[in-house]
Chain A
Amino acid sequence: MTANPESKIKVSTPSDREVVTERAFDAPRTLVFDAHTKPDLVKRWLLGPPGWSMPVCEIDLRVGGKLRYVWQNDADGTSFGMTGVYKEIVAAERIVHTEFFSDNWTGGEALITTVFAKKAGKTTVTITMLFASKEARDGAVATGMTDGMESSYRMLEDVLRSTAAA
């Protein structure tokens, strides 16, 4: 399988409180939807950085139904979890749900809208993450998914320390 540059994910921040990702998949919408909503399938790919597994994946796919994910670091056994509630479900088209992370990175609940669309023979998945505030948005994506915030604070500390020393 050759790498297809068109298949790379697009990430944007259309407003202070949002992150939007978009990615095309070479598969019908029903399969892509199943991969996002059946626990045995979700566990196979929604894993984050290397070294993490997903020991818990519970999905009650109906309006008002709950979802619960727990990820675990294989090396040191630390884990963190996410819970949420489904608000809207249109099979193979659209899911809206809330998310709340165990360390409260999201500064309260985030509202996640996932749209599955047919585009040029492929399925495009667009996810809009709406956070409670700008700080929550910045904190969640930087801290929750990456160590970006930590490294940016370290960078700031270095700059400020050298400024103070000057």
Chain B
Amino acid sequence: MTPAERLDATFAALADPTRRAILARLASGEASVSELAEPFAMSQPAISKHLKVLERAGLIVSGRDAQRRPRKIDAAPLAEAAGWIERYREIWEANYQRLDALLDEMKRAGAGKKRKTKE
């Protein structure tokens, strides 16, 4: 998935009240499919469909317990949706603009030295 596709998947996943409620439940700790289905008047297969959408968006991951396969929340796609990459890029661009100015200074200093040795 490209970052853009992932972002689309994240927003699509969040655009459903049942899925948001599932995330709310998982925010306080991992849970199995049956535990997640409990509060909803919904069959486990229906809940599993929602879980697949959330998994594809990378918002939840399956635990290693082979029998229970608890789901855990994964906040990274949300961080991406919230634009952390953009903020990161801004900070590094600011660093690099300072570096641009420093490099100009260093080039001028180098050119100055060359002129002096030529005289």
Q: Which residues of A contact B (CB under 8 A)?
A: 7-9, 11-13, 19, 21, 23, 25-27, 31-32, 34-35, 41, 44-50, 134-135, 138, 141-142, 145-149, 151-153, 155-156, 159-160, 163-164, 166
Contacts and interface: CB of A to CB of B under 8 A. Distances in A.
B76 A134 contact: yes
A122 to B, nearest CB: 11
A160 B27 contact: yes
Kindly name the residue among A13, A34, A138 whose own CB sees the greatest number of chain B CB atoms within 10 A: A138
Interface string B1-36: 001000000000010010011011001000000000
27 contacts: A9-B92, A9-B93, A13-B85, A25-B100, A27-B104, A27-B106, A27-B107, A31-B110, A34-B106, A35-B103, A45-B95, A45-B101, A49-B94, A141-B85, A141-B88, A142-B79, A142-B84, A146-B87, A146-B88, A151-B82, A152-B79, A152-B84, A156-B27, A160-B20, A163-B17, A163-B21, A163-B24
B69 interface: no
Contacts of A27: 103-104, 106-107
Contact of A41 (B76, B94, B102): B102
Contacts of A44: 98-99, 102
A46 B91 CA distance: 10
A40 to B, nearest CB: 10
A48 B84 contact: no
A50 B17 CA distance: 39
A152 B14 CA distance: 13
B75 A35 contact: no
B81 interface: yes
B107 A146 contact: no
A156 B106 contact: no
Interface residues on B, range: 35 or more
B82 A148 contact: yes
Contacts of A156: 23, 27, 75, 78
A159 B26 CA distance: 13
B89 interface: yes
B96 interface: yes
A50 B90 CA distance: 11
A141 B84 contact: yes
B75 A149 contact: yes
B99 A25 contact: yes
Given A27-B103, A44-B99, A148-B84, 14 more contacts: A9-B93, A11-B88, A11-B89, A31-B103, A31-B107, A35-B103, A45-B102, A134-B76, A138-B75, A141-B85, A141-B88, A142-B84, A145-B87, A145-B88
